[in-house]
Amino acid sequence: MINTVNSSIGRSGRAPATDRAGQSPRHHPVSSAPANGGFAPDVPHRGGKDHDMARRSAEAPPRRLRTRLAAALAAVTLAVPAGLTVGTPAASAATVGSITGYGGKCLDVAGAASANGTQVQLWSCNGSAAQQWTVADDGTIRALGKCLDVAAAGTANGTKVQIYDCNGTGAQLWSANGTQLVNAGSGKCADATGPSSADGTPVQIWTCTGAANQSWTLPGGGTTPPPSGDFTHPGVMVSRGQLDFVRGRVQAGAQPWTSAFNQMMSSRYASLSRTPAPRPVVECGSYSNPNNGCTDEREDAIAAYTDALAWYITGDSRYAQKAIQIMDAWSATITSHTGSNAPLQTGWAGSVWPRAAEIIRYTYSSWPNVNRFSTMLRNVYLPVVRNGSGSNGNWELTMMEAAVGISVFLEDRSAYNAAVTRFLNRTRAFIYLPSDGPLPYTVPGSGLDTPAEIIGYWHDQSTFVAGLAQETCRDFTHTGYGISAISHVAETSRIQGQDLYPQVGERLRHALGFHSRYQLGEAPPSWLCDGSLTRGLGPITEVGYNALANRLGNAMTNTQTLTLQQRPAGTNNLFVAWETVTHADNLN
């Protein structure tokens, strides 16, 4: 599905062909950029809110005619679904809408057929009638005039879930237990077979396990509940099981891990002669002006993480001691960040420090000053990042990555839960899906209340397709920062027992595929950023590709091509580093 402003002003063009009747075009995931890409400066940008625009082909204006665009849009007529007021979130009954499940896919009636016995399955969300469910007060869940039903009132594991004429039996009564859908007649849970999130995956009943393939989000609410109990360590972006897997692969000389590890070890970040360069105040302005300690802080954090990985993989304690030296130097010195880019700088460095610290704290024998490092994260970093930013989406997503990682290291459940909530809201506002409506969703309270404001925030893009990001028409580099942060937070939360892929997986999959496609060289259509793209996605595809393709079974042709092409993925010298080492084909 493609959504375009219904006006002679704005980007426009022809939508890609759909893959299935009535469904949105499928963009196979991927991304790209230099393996050791440099710093792309950022400047503040006002935040965003919630909406969508209707379709129609139109001539695109020059990209920066904001004033003219706003004036023209004041008189624009939008083809908006009945009941939707442009400028505010769509108002719909809380009990009617899509039900999302494993991998962010929607509960779908196969072939949109209303015949009794039609299989219920997972399919990419498209907003069609086959995915519109009414959760009724009587305990039934209905679509296409039929009820969600367990075939033949069965109770055995693997019994088909289908639609059938409503009859009031226990086979058609469902209750929500947390995020599980429990069938009254069988006492079993709705379950994505496999588990798989591939389109067409049949839904069955199965003994309730609490697994991710039994987690569902109902219309009007219900996100995966925060985990309770202890945090898992090491547990910021990479787990002990993942580290063990990598160590085994490198020791065996297997590829691509060995070449990626060798690349890491030959980089300046792994040097045992490195001298950390901390300072009390790190001052960072737009476009690195001024740059007083900004590069030093980011690169020392990456060096500490590099050394932590090197320690675990090789067992050479010199690398653990070097990581500790770097972290101790900064925790003894830094007091604050200043300058217009301070929030982003704090997010970048704050995303990497906890990765290094988690590995050292929980796998090395001694770190006497660990409490001082914890105090640094709590007092210098967390207060800056925890409340986010109204700038371009990559800012807040990176800041939430830092907040989540720091919260795990500090074992601060309240800070963790708040960061995840803000992260989910910003992810929805950063990557467009047709189910958002004719205009992209915007963060409530952002001040983006008109089509002109929303289009301006999306860098004058007025045609919206699945996977398009808020900064696509700015450049792929900043877009890649946001995509990378989304994958990092999802990984950390998964390790901590909270699977966020049902909420963010579909957006991440489409964003990876959409941007990989053009990063690989395909010419953009005229409706996309006036037919001109600034590429340079960066080494950011490994984590998302591993999760969505390798673990969850999604076909991601473009993402796979780009991921393989850019291996071994290095570092962007900001907060992305060595992800072929840690996440290539790593199912742990």
Check whether residue 409 and residue 531 sit in a common domain: yes
Estimate to the nearest angstrom the gap between the alpha carbon of 229 and the chain centroid: 25
Overall average pLDDT of the 37-60 stretch: 36
Is residue 247 included in any domain, yes or no? yes
Kindly list the distances between the CA atom of residue 20 and the CA atoms of 106, 193, 514, 515, 553, in Å, as whole numbers in the listed order.
Answer: 15, 22, 18, 21, 19
Check whether residue 289 and residue 187 sit in a common domain: no
Domain boundary among 214, 244, 260: 214
Summarised one tens digit per residue, pLDDT across range 277-324 is: 999 999 999 988 999 999 999 999 999 999 999 999 999 999 999 999
The residue among 379 and 71 whose pLDDT is bigger is: 379
As a whole number, the mean pLDDT across the chain is: 85
Indicate which CATH number applies to the domain containing 417: 1.50.10.100
Kindly list the distances between the CA atom of residue 65 and the CA atoms of 392, 439, 455, in Å, as whole numbers in the listed order.
Answer: 19, 19, 11
Overall average pLDDT of the 153-175 stretch: 89
pLDDT reading at 575 higher than 80: yes
Listed in sequence order, the residues at least 6 apart from 40 whose beta carbon sits closer than 8 Å to its beta carbon are 475, 477, 478, 536
Check whether residue 329 and residue 406 sit in a common domain: yes
Taking residue 364's Cβ as centre, other Cβ atoms within 10 Å add up to: 17
Is residue 39 included in any domain, yes or no? no
Is residue 128 included in any domain, yes or no? yes
Overall average pLDDT of the 555-577 stretch: 98
Query: Looking at 401-480, which runs of residues are DSSP E strands?
Result: 463-464
Is residue 68 included in any domain, yes or no? no
Is residue 297 included in any domain, yes or no? yes
pLDDT reading at 81 higher than 60: no
The residue among 565 and 79 whose pLDDT is bigger is: 565
Contact of 19 with 537, CB cutoff 8 Å: no
Residue-level pLDDT at 63: 40
Residue-level pLDDT at 186: 79
* Host domain of residue 151: 96-214
Check whether residue 309 and residue 168 sit in a common domain: no
Listed in sequence order, the residues at least 6 apart from 67 whose beta carbon sits closer than 8 Å to its beta carbon are none
DSSP-assigned states of every residue in 70-110: HHHHTT------TTPPTTSPPP--TTEE--B-GGGPEEEEG
pLDDT reading at 388 higher than 70: yes
Overall average pLDDT of the 454-471 stretch: 98
Is residue 86 included in any domain, yes or no? no
Check whether residue 438 and residue 474 sit in a common domain: yes
Contact of 54 with 6, CB cutoff 8 Å: yes
Residue-level pLDDT at 173: 82
Contact of 382 with 337, CB cutoff 8 Å: no
Residue-level pLDDT at 178: 66
Check whether residue 560 and residue 485 sit in a common domain: yes
Domain boundary among 157, 185, 214: 214
pLDDT reading at 228 higher than 90: no
The residue among 119 and 9 whose pLDDT is bigger is: 119
pLDDT reading at 412 higher than 90: yes
pLDDT > 70: percent of the chain: 82
Domains: count for the chain = 2
Summarised one tens digit per residue, pLDDT across range 237-281 is: 999 999 999 999 999 999 999 999 999 999 999 999 999 999 999
Distance (Å, rounded) from C-alpha 245 to C-alpha 431?
A: 32
Summarised one tens digit per residue, pLDDT across range 102-117 is: 988 999 999 999 999 9
Is residue 223 included in any domain, yes or no? no
Check whether residue 194 and residue 242 sit in a common domain: no
Residue-level pLDDT at 227: 60
Contact of 418 with 386, CB cutoff 8 Å: yes
Residue-level pLDDT at 75: 32
Residue 220: pLDDT band with limits 50, 70, 90: low
The residue among 138 and 457 whose pLDDT is bigger is: 457
Check whether residue 385 and residue 470 sit in a common domain: yes
- Look up residue 32 and give its two tokens: 């790209």
Check whether residue 196 and residue 277 sit in a common domain: no
Residue pointed to by tokens 């009390």: 280
pLDDT reading at 164 higher than 90: yes
Residue 177: pLDDT band with limits 50, 70, 90: low
Contact of 382 with 35, CB cutoff 8 Å: no
Residue 47: pLDDT band with limits 50, 70, 90: very low
Residue 360: pLDDT band with limits 50, 70, 90: very high
The residue among 346 and 43 whose pLDDT is bigger is: 346
Check whether residue 182 and residue 312 sit in a common domain: no
pLDDT reading at 523 higher than 70: yes
The residue among 218 and 264 whose pLDDT is bigger is: 264
Overall average pLDDT of the 503-521 stretch: 98
Check whether residue 197 and residue 346 sit in a common domain: no
The Cβ-side half-sphere exposure at 452, using a 13 Å CA radius, reads 15
Indicate which CATH number applies to the domain containing 175: 2.80.10.50
Check whether residue 178 and residue 291 sit in a common domain: no
Is residue 23 included in any domain, yes or no? no
Residue 528: pLDDT band with limits 50, 70, 90: very high
Overall average pLDDT of the 119-129 stretch: 93
Residue-level pLDDT at 288: 87
Overall average pLDDT of the 70-91 stretch: 32
pLDDT reading at 52 higher than 60: no
Overall average pLDDT of the 456-481 stretch: 98
Give the predicted TM-score (pTM) of the model: 0.69
pLDDT reading at 8 higher than 50: no
pLDDT reading at 582 higher than 50: yes
pLDDT reading at 490 higher than 50: yes
Residue-level pLDDT at 443: 86
Measured in degrees and rounded to the nearest 5, phi and psi for residue 28 equal: -70, 135
Burial (0-12, 13-18, 19+ Cβ within 10 Å), 228: exposed
Pairing of strands 336-338, 281-284: parallel
